[in-house]
């Protein structure tokens, strides 16, 4: 790994807002051109190597040929299957794993599956077979409907794999994941580490039934162990870390943060490793440092929305207790590098902490400190633009997503279910407008 930071000129700072500029709506004029450049990289269709220098290097195994392919309007219907397995006995930990284990923050070291890596890739470049065909069947769980107590069926997708060759390792775990919404992520990146850690309450010392904790992770962009912010289990600390991870796992593209030019291809997949990679010159990464920074900037500033409206919906959100984890507002400092001073008011609708969401939402795939039942509080910004909800896209409506909540969210779910039909509709309409 090249343990250097991206040059500062390639890291556009979070700009200060003018006094009369909306707190979360609109892209600041100072970075509008850079965001547009990032969108071009985001929408770029990559090709297998060898090919045009700017676009070659796709795969050899991959799930998508562009960022936009997964984060399209119907992204909730697009799923990948994540894998992990216990680290082989006697294999030394990586430097990052050793740091986390030494802190007591990594109870059991897990890696990708030895044969198939950290994710099933269901597409491949010409001449190479995909790893598997992924299919789904749906299981239903009857629950009491809000208001009248009648039974309704909540569905969840269950994956089935037709593996091309090989088998999963003993103890391997898998979990379906959808592409998360891109909505104001730069504002989440502006939240100080200390503000995230200050809200931890792992032993529920205040007795409110909520015991969130941060998922401490190694950040290649910051070269430190810091609170995770992005991903369903808060496994990535910065937008650059998250973007590099997606380029690698989803498209098989290397960057300075994820330098393997065969992406998620494992040592056992020799045919994959034998195919040429992209890149040119002394820096062989297929995604340049400039392109990585550009796409992270675009991902951070796309999907911004106006501040939520006050009124009955907001009051009901508070009454049900949803805001205990989905924090409706926060003050964050203006980054000095952007020329700003003081603080700015944001509406994150997340505390960025891990919470036990109960057995109904649990998977078998721990990640860092996160157990199978723990998930990062999902930001609600842009909720009304989604077509499917929760980590695996199981819920087709916001109401269904709420009814899947359990564990630390069970009390808030019960208060939602107890609302009369009119108040329930007011709350759901308000959430759809975020």
CA separation for the pair 243, 246 (Å, rounded): 5
**In this predicted structure, what is the pLDDT of residue 335?**
46
Question: Residue 249's closest CA among 56, 45, 63?
Answer: 63
Q: Is residue 1 part of a domain?
A: no
**In this predicted structure, what is the pLDDT of residue 103?**
67
**In this predicted structure, what is the pLDDT of residue 148?**
63
CA separation for the pair 281, 218 (Å, rounded): 29
Question: Residue 81's closest CA among 140, 141, 139, 130?
Answer: 130
Structure tokens that stand for 46 in this block: 């990559």
Cβ–Cβ < 8 Å for 157, 179: no
Residue segments in the chain with a per-residue pLDDT below the cut of 50: 1-25, 74-75, 282, 335-339
Q: Is residue 16 part of a domain?
A: no
**In this predicted structure, what is the pLDDT of residue 4?**
35
The domain containing residue 296 runs over which residues? 23-432
Q: Is residue 125 part of a domain?
A: yes
Question: Residue 265's closest CA among 395, 131, 100, 391?
Answer: 131
How many CA atoms lie within 13 Å of 81's alpha carbon, on the beta-carbon side? 24
**In this predicted structure, what is the pLDDT of residue 10?**
35
Q: Is residue 2 part of a domain?
A: no
Q: Is residue 293 part of a domain?
A: yes
The DSSP H or E segment spanning 421 is helix 421-432
Cβ–Cβ < 8 Å for 326, 349: yes
Number of structural domains in the chain: 1
CB atoms within 10 A of CB 145: 14
**In this predicted structure, what is the pLDDT of residue 8?**
30
Q: Is residue 6 part of a domain?
A: no
Helix (H, G, I), strand (E, B) or coil at 65: coil
Structure tokens that stand for 38 in this block: 């990032």
CA separation for the pair 284, 85 (Å, rounded): 30
Q: Is residue 18 part of a domain?
A: no
Torsion over CA: 102, 105, 106, 112 (sign): negative
Q: Largest Cα–Cα distance in the chain?
A: 67
Q: Is residue 10 part of a domain?
A: no
């Amino acid at each position: 790994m090249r343990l250097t930071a991206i040059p500062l000129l390639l890291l556009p700072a979070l700009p200060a807002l003018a006094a009369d500029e909306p707190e979360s709506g609109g892209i600041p004029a100072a970075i509008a051109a850079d965001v547009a450049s990032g969108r071009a990289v985001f929408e770029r269709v990559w090709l297998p190597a060898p090919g045009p220098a700017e676009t070659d290097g796709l795969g050899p195994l991959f799930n998508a040929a562009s960022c936009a392919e997964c984060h399209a309007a119907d992204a909730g219907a697009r799923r990948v299957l994540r894998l992990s397995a216990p680290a082989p006995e006697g294999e030394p930990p990586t430097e990052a794993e050793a740091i986390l284990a030494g802190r007591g923050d990594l109870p059991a070291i897990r890696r990708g599956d030895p044969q198939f890596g950290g994710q099933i890739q269901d597409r491949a470049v010409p001449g190479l077979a995909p790893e598997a065909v992924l299919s789904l069947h749906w299981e239903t769980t009857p629950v009491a409907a809000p208001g009248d107590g009648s039974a309704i069926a909540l569905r969840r997708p269950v994956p089935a794999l037709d593996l091309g060759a090989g088998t999963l390792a003993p103890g391997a775990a898998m979990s379906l994941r959808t592409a998360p919404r891109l909505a104001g992520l730069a504002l989440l990146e502006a939240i100080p580490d200390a503000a995230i850690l200050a809200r931890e309450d792992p032993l529920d010392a205040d007795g409110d039934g909520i015991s969130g904790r941060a998922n401490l992770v190694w950040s290649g962009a910051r070269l430190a162990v810091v609170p995770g912010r992005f991903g369903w289990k808060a496994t990535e600390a910065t937008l650059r870390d998250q973007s590099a991870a997606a380029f690698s796992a989803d498209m098989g593209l290397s960057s300075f943060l994820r330098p393997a030019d065969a992406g998620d291809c494992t040592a056992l997949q020799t045919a994959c490793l034998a195919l040429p990679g992209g890149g040119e010159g002394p820096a062989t990464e297929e995604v340049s440092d400039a392109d990585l920074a550009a796409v992270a900037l675009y991902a951070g500033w796309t999907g911004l929305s106006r501040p939520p409206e006050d009124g009955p919906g907001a009051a009901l959100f508070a009454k049900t207790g949803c805001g205990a984890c989905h924090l409706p507002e926060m003050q964050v400092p203006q980054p000095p590098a952007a020329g700003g001073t003081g603080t700015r008011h944001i509406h994150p609708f997340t505390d960025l902490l891990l919470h036990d969401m109960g057995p109904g939402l649990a998977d078998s795939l721990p990640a860092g400190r996160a157990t199978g039942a723990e998930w990062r509080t999902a930001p609600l910004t842009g909720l009304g633009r989604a077509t499917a909800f929760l980590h695996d896209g199981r819920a087709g409506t916001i109401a269904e997503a709420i009814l899947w909540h359990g564990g630390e969210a069970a009390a808030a779910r019960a208060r939602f279910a107890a609302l009369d039909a009119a108040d329930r509709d007011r709350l759901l309409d308000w959430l759809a407008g975020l």
